[in-house]
Chain A
Amino acid sequence: MADILQIKNVSKKYSNHIALNDISLNVAEKSVFGLLGPNGAGKTSLIRIINQITGPDSGEILFKGEKLNPKHVERIGYLPEERGLYKKMSVGDQVLYLAQLKGLSKAEAKKRLTYWFEKFEMQSWWKKKVEELSKGMQQKVQFIVTVIHEPELLILDEPFSGFDPINAQLIKNEILELRKNGATVIFSTHNMGSVEELCDNIALINKAEKIVDGSVKEIRKTHRTNTYKITFKGNLLGFTNALWTGGEILDKHTEDDIHSVTLKLATTVTGSQLLQAILPICEIHSFNELIPSMNDIFIMKVNAGNEIVGTKSNYTE
């Protein structure tokens, strides 16, 4: 698939710190791309550069193969992390104004807004002032403003922060629907659950550097640690003997004769070799490879970068 966005060697320096150091990324068209990283990693700086709010010190960005320029603004939708609305302005005036700033004509803006207001069942808000709306209501308004001009690229900075679970789900569904309709979505988040649920590809940024990028599946695969969880009935000692030196038991517990063991195999041993070795000895109930979650990878990578070792990891099946 073609890339909608190519970020090439982008660097950005502020007076006392480096925000982005030689970042290169490609975002495939019609995908959902997750931009991950701890606070202060440089995600917002990168997003602001893509939105042409600030410029990079060096490097360049291509939008559909063209060098990024002000005309592209109308093809990008942006929901910033620090989002707000004019408190004293009516909702209708406000969304009309913001839609027109994105290049829509007044009539077209009105037409599309009617559609969205009906969809989210908020027609009655049109004449209300923003300060009369609840926070969740304001977030819906903000989301509509972001997508009103039907952008090809949608950039959401921490879209789920501050949303209640119902609105968060609503936004998730909208993201998936927008992708289905051909839009590309980039979002930054701390919420790893949503990453695995939504993202096709991710990039992990820490301390201004890109640490990992690629498809979520690939990344999880390449970060496999050859760890398995086996539940079986039989002799635990025999099981341990059968392992020989091929693996190390990380965790075990027994309940009603059923043993549950988490073990990490040596790099030379494969899962099927293990299975063959233990099959004659015990009655196997389940046999699973533990693939690290994005959360694990995130913590592992960030801590490795921060040179903090020895974290407790929670593997998921």
Chain B
Amino acid sequence: MRKIRLIIGREIKSKLTNKTFIIMTILAPLLITGFLAFMIKMTQSEKTEQNVLVIDDSKLFKDKLVGNDYISLSFSNDNLPKAVAEFSDKGYSCVLWISPTVIEGGAGATKLFYKKSPGFAFQTYIKDQMERIVYENKLKANNIDPTIISNSKQSIKIILEKVNDKGSTEEQASFGLFGFLTGALMFMFILMYGMMVFRSVMEEKTNRIVEVIVSSVKPFELMLGKIIGVAILGIIQFAIMGIITFALTTVLSTIFLKDVSAQLKVFQSQQEMVKKNGTNVNFNQLEKFDDKLEVFDLLQKIEKIDFVEVFICFILYFIGGYLFYSSIMAAIGSAVDSEADSQQFITPVMIPLMVGYFIATKTIMDPDSSTVFWGSIIPFTSPIVMMSRITNGVPMWELVLSLSILFVSFVFTTWLAGKIYRTGILMYGKKTSWREIGKWLFYK
């Protein structure tokens, strides 16, 4: 045991003092959150202040077309050429001209004059309002009350309730995308740390230090020490990355999502009220969040995820899946002399991982299909596929079955890998084949 501890210690220390490793550990979460923030930022509209001079020759929009906290509109009766010539001197950022014939439609009925482009979000904002005003106007022209139309519109939301084995129902988060992401993360981690074990084994072999070491410790102990060392390293790295990511996302979300989460609270309390009081509620007093419903949906789904369950499963499946694959990787590392030779052995190991990844994508669409079920039971794919299923609610017996198979399998692969490893690390200069490796299994 003391020797295995020494090996584990060396494995961890050699990586922790490696600059690339440290930089990657810190940089990866920065990149991930940076990318996420960038994506969110991209989807959110640019809020540059717009001071708009509106020349409404149709006289339809006065007092109806309104600005918001960053768009201010001032109506004017100036003639257009004069306004276009002078608007920027007067402190306006653009001129919106609406033709008298706007209600008949046609291109060129509305024009925007600007020096600096006000952006797409601004255009959409103005356009949507104008379309609604014209729409209501036309309805009124035909003696139709617009409120009838708007009240007859009803959006439908399907709430998923899964009936579990005890017959009771539970509302499902059914957040397929999140499941897929954890599955993909599992894929990445298993591959990353599996490769780390592979490199570490190969390094010792090509360095020719391995024979010195196996004269002091059993090859199996060396392999085990290495695998455990990298696992601990992985967990350390995982923790550091997790903490950095968590801190960053918390900071970022308070910046980006502060308004949204406050609004969500109002929205939820309103929903409660509606549930309690039914149609007696005065709807006009309620705040409307029509444009925010999708974000709310996402946030509510995230809130419903049982992160503790996901975390525990992730750790268990990571340990199982990692040990399963890394012992195979250790065996391969011991069998080859150079990274160039390793491709023919790594590819067959990559394939089941890739298959797992693809089944995980299928989970989003069809979480209860039999492919997904078997994928989450068979140990080659189960760590990835089961993680992708986990937010859909997996019966306990399936979890227990899948994990037990995985853990029994890794004991088997580790035992097998030990036999290959023992012979492989001492074989130099020979090109190894699968046949050859098969024979090693039977050496004493």
Question: Interface readout for A52-67 with B: 1 if CB under 8 Å, 0 if not?
Answer: 1111110000000000
Chain B residues positioned under 8 Å from A101 (CB to CB): 3, 6-7, 213, 216-217
Any A CB within 8 A of the CB of B214: yes
Chain A residues positioned under 8 Å from B204 (CB to CB): 86
- A78 touching B6 by the CB < 8 A rule? no
B interface residues, how many (CB within 8 angstroms): 29
Contact partner of B6 among A53, A55, A79, A97, CB < 8 A?
A97
Chain B residues positioned under 8 Å from A84 (CB to CB): 207-210, 212
Chain B residue at minimal CB-CB distance from A14: B443
Instruction: Tell me which residues from 12 to 40 in chain B have a Cβ below 8 Å from any Cβ of chain A.
Output: 13-14, 18
Chain A residue at minimal CB-CB distance from B425: A53
Chain A residues positioned under 8 Å from B211 (CB to CB): 53, 78, 80, 82-83
Known: A14-B443, A89-B14. A83 touches B213 (CB 8 A): no
Chain B residues positioned under 8 Å from A57 (CB to CB): 444
Any A CB within 8 A of the CB of B218: yes
Distance A82 CA – B204 CA, assembled complex (angstroms)? 12
Distance A70 CA – B14 CA, assembled complex (angstroms)? 27
Chain A residues positioned under 8 Å from B439 (CB to CB): 15
Instruction: Compute the total of residue contacts between A and B using a CB distance below 8 Å.
Output: 74
Instruction: Tell me which residues from 84 to 105 in chain A have a Cβ below 8 Å from any Cβ of chain B.
Output: 84-89, 93, 97-98, 100-103
Chain A residue at minimal CB-CB distance from B438: A15
Instruction: Tell me which residues from 189 to 227 in chain B have a Cβ below 8 Å from any Cβ of chain A.
Output: 203-204, 207-219
- B14 touching A73 by the CB < 8 A rule? no
Chain A residue at minimal CB-CB distance from B208: A84
- B212 touching A97 by the CB < 8 A rule? no
Distance A84 CA – B213 CA, assembled complex (angstroms)? 10
Chain B residue at minimal CB-CB distance from A97: B10
Distance A83 CA – B216 CA, assembled complex (angstroms)? 14
- B212 touching A142 by the CB < 8 A rule? yes
Chain B residue at minimal CB-CB distance from A79: B212
Distance A56 CA – B443 CA, assembled complex (angstroms)? 10
- B3 touching A82 by the CB < 8 A rule? no
Q: How far, in Å, is A135 (CB) from chain B's closest CB?
A: 12
- B6 touching A100 by the CB < 8 A rule? yes
Any B CB within 8 A of the CB of A185: no
Any B CB within 8 A of the CB of A208: no
Known: A53-B426, A54-B443. A83 touches B212 (CB 8 A): yes
Any A CB within 8 A of the CB of B238: no
Distance A62 CA – B108 CA, assembled complex (angstroms)? 102
Chain A residues positioned under 8 Å from B210 (CB to CB): 84
Distance A243 CA – B186 CA, assembled complex (angstroms)? 91
Any A CB within 8 A of the CB of B428: yes
Chain A residue at minimal CB-CB distance from B222: A101
- A78 touching B14 by the CB < 8 A rule? no
Distance A84 CA – B212 CA, assembled complex (angstroms)? 8
Any B CB within 8 A of the CB of A36: no
Minimum-distance CB pairs A-B, first 8 = A84-B208, A80-B211, A78-B215, A101-B216, A84-B207, A84-B209, A15-B439, A82-B208
Could you show 9 A-B contacts with beta carbons less than 8 Å apart? Answer: A51-B214, A73-B217, A80-B208, A83-B211, A87-B207, A89-B14, A98-B213, A101-B213, A103-B216
| Known A82-B208, A98-B213; 18 more pairs at CB < 8 Å | A52-B215, A53-B426, A54-B423, A73-B215, A73-B216, A73-B217, A78-B211, A82-B428, A83-B209, A84-B207, A84-B208, A84-B209, A84-B210, A85-B209, A88-B14, A97-B6, A98-B212, A101-B7
